[in-house]
Amino acid sequence: MDEIIVIALSALTSIAILMLTSLGLAVIFGLMRIVNMAHGEFLMIGAFTTTVAVRIGELSIWLAILCAPVVCALVGAFVELAFIRPLYGRRLIDTLLVTSGLSLILYQIAINVFGTASPGIGTPPGFAEIGSYTVSYYSLFLPVVTVLLTALLYALFKWTRYGLLARAASDNPDMASVLGVEVRRVNLSTFVLGCALAGLGGGLISPMVAVSPGVGQSYVGQAFMTVVTGGPAFLLGTLSASALLGGIANIVSQMFTTLWGLTALLVTAIILVRLLPRGLSGNWSRQL
C-alpha cells in the first residue's frame, strides 16, 4: 500500500516537472505560434540564476527561485526586440532556425561562464515518512505550485483585459491592430511572460536536477512533444498532455530504467500525434 502511494507521488512529481518545463513554451508556441527552440536555454538560465543566487549570493532558496523569472524576462525582452520582432509574418521555419541559433549561442556562453561541471544545490530540507519510505516535502511542493500556476495563468488569459488582447493579437494580428490593439507591445509582453515562466520552471526544478549548460536541451524535446500533443488549448491541453506523458514516462522508468521511460514518452507522443493530429484538446470547446 505504502509503495503504491510512493509510486503515485513520484509520478505526480514527474508530471509537475514536465508541466513546469513546458509551461513557458505553451505560452510562446502554444498561444503565440512562435517556435522557440531556445526554450531549453531559458530553463537553463533560470536554473543557473537560482543556483548562483544560492551559492554565491547566499540567498534563501525561495528568494533565489523568484530571481529566475526576473532574469529570464530581461533576457527574453532583449531576444524579442533583437531577433523575434523582425520575423513576425515570415515563415515559421525562419523563427525556428533563428531561435535554434540563439539556443546554440546561449548554450556556448553558459559553457564559457560556468564550465561543463554541475554545481548542485541541495533540495530544501524536510521530508514526509510514508511507512518505511521517505518523500521530500519539496517534491510534494512542486505539484502544488504547478496547479496554482496553471490556475493563475488560466485566470489571467480568461478574465483580464491583457489576456483578451494577448489572445486577439495571436489569433489575428491584422484584425487586432485594426481594432486599435498595439500588437507589437502585446506580443512583447506575452513573449516575456513565456520566458519568465520558463525561467521559473528552471528555477523550480534546479534543486532536483544536475544543473549544467546542457540541462535545457534534455528538456526541450519533451516540452515540445508535450505542447504539440496538448493541442490548441494551450494551458489545459498542455496540462493533460503532461499528466499523460509524464505519468507514463515515470511509471515505465520506475518499472525499468529512465531510458525506457523516455522511450515510452516518445512512443506515446508519436502514437497520439497519429491518432489525434490536432492534439488532445483538438475537439474541446475551450480555448485555454
Contacts with another protein, residue ranges (CB under 8 A) = 35, 37, 83, 86, 92-94, 96-98, 100-109, 111-112, 217-218, 220-222, 224-225, 228, 257-259, 262-263, 265-266, 269-271, 273-275, 277, 285
- Terminal alpha carbon distance of the chain: 37
Residue 23 or 37: which CB sits closer to another protein? 37
Residue 265 or 288: which CB sits closer to another protein? 265
For the chain, the residue count is 288
Q: How far is the CB of 5 from another protein (least distance, A)?
A: 27
Cα–Cα distance measured from residue 10 to residue 250, given in angstroms and rounded to the nearest whole number: 8
Q: How far is the CB of 241 from another protein (least distance, A)?
A: 13
Residue 56 or 275: which CB sits closer to another protein? 275
Residue 99 or 240: which CB sits closer to another protein? 99
CA distances from 262 to 25, 43, 74, 143, 282 (A): 20, 19, 33, 20, 24
**Residues in a beta bridge with 128:** 135
CA distances from 223 to 38, 156, 209 (A): 12, 22, 16
Cα–Cα distance measured from residue 74 to residue 89, given in angstroms and rounded to the nearest whole number: 24
Residue 69 or 202: which CB sits closer to another protein? 202
Q: How far is the CB of 263 from another protein (least distance, A)?
A: 6
Q: How far is the CB of 261 from another protein (least distance, A)?
A: 10
Residue 47 or 61: which CB sits closer to another protein? 47
Q: How far is the CB of 4 from another protein (least distance, A)?
A: 26
Q: The C-alpha cell of 274 is what?
A: 497519429
Q: How far is the CB of 48 from another protein (least distance, A)?
A: 17
Residue 61 or 252: which CB sits closer to another protein? 252
Residue 177 or 254: which CB sits closer to another protein? 254
Beta-carbon contacts of residue 214 (< 8 Å; ≥ 6 apart): 44, 107, 116
Is residue 272 classed exposed, middle or buried when 0-12, 13-18 and 19+ CB atoms within 10 A define those classes?
A: buried
Q: How far is the CB of 199 from another protein (least distance, A)?
A: 20
Residue corresponding to grid cell 494580428 = 173
Q: How far is the CB of 158 from another protein (least distance, A)?
A: 20
